[in-house]
């Protein structure tokens, strides 16, 4: 979005507004530190398998560059993980408005990690349709080998739970 401002015909200023970090598909800055209570995607290892889970930040240990996070799905005992900062992805804080900030949305065909509906795990998916108007969700196709083309039928996922997938190979 560009805003022009003319001052008595003498000068014209143009301001380009960009969505802030953690708005829709706009990632956090590299030096961003998630705060206690923030929800994040966390890559955890269990039983020789790695999964992306929905977690809540407990603390950041600056000297070790690690987070303590609690698994959102764990029972009352809370399953705590201590993970390197690179195994944590901050979730978007603000929804992008498709009408004013289309660049802050993942485009059709983008490879993402999305929270599978009714679960607390993130899985690889392709954007089937980005939101069309404010408040809309993404339509995504989850990778699923039980379907002939390797993808599930389209499922709806809130913007807050769709993040960039940095792994480019299909599993």
Supply the pLDDT for residue 1.
Answer: 56
pLDDT at 171 over 70: no
Three-state DSSP at 164 gives strand
For 78-104, how does the pLDDT look when each residue is reduced to its tens digit (9 = 90+)? 799 999 999 999 999 999 999 999 999
pLDDT value at 76 more than 70: no
Q: How far apart are CA 161 and CA 157, in angstroms?
A: 7
pLDDT, greater one: 69 or 135: 69
| Percentage above 70 pLDDT, the chain | 88
Stretch 13-17: mean pLDDT: 69
pTM greater than 0.75:
yes
Q: What is the mean pLDDT of the chain?
A: 91
Question: At residue 28, does pLDDT exceed 70?
Answer: yes
Confidence of residue 26 (pLDDT cuts 50, 70, 90): very high
| 166 band by pLDDT with thresholds 50, 70 and 90 | confident
Confidence band, pLDDT 50/70/90 cuts, at residue 154: very high
Q: Contact, 150 vs 144, CB < 8 A?
A: yes
**Which H/E stretch holds residue 65?**
none
Q: With a cut of 70, say whether residue 164 has pLDDT above it.
A: yes
């Amino acid at each position: 979005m560009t805003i022009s401002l003319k001052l008595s015909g003498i000068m014209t200023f143009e301001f380009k507004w960009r969505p802030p970090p953690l708005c829709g598909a706009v990632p956090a800055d590299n030096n961003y530190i998630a705060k206690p209570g923030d929800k994040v995607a966390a890559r955890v290892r269990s039983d020789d398998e790695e999964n992306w889970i929905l977690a809540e930040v407990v603390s950041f240990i600056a000297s070790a560059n690690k987070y303590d996070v609690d698994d959102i799905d764990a029972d009352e005992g809370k399953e705590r993980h201590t993970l390197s900062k690179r195994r944590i992805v901050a979730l978007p804080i603000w929804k992008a408005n498709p009408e004013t900030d289309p660049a802050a949305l993942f485009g059709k065909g983008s490879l993402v990690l999305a929270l599978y509906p009714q679960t607390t795990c993130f899985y690889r998916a392709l954007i089937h349709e980005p939101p069309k108007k404010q408040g809309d969700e993404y339509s995504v196709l989850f990778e699923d080998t039980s379907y002939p083309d390797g993808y599930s039928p389209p499922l709806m996922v809130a913007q807050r739970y769709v993040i960039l997938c940095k792994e480019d190979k299909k599993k």
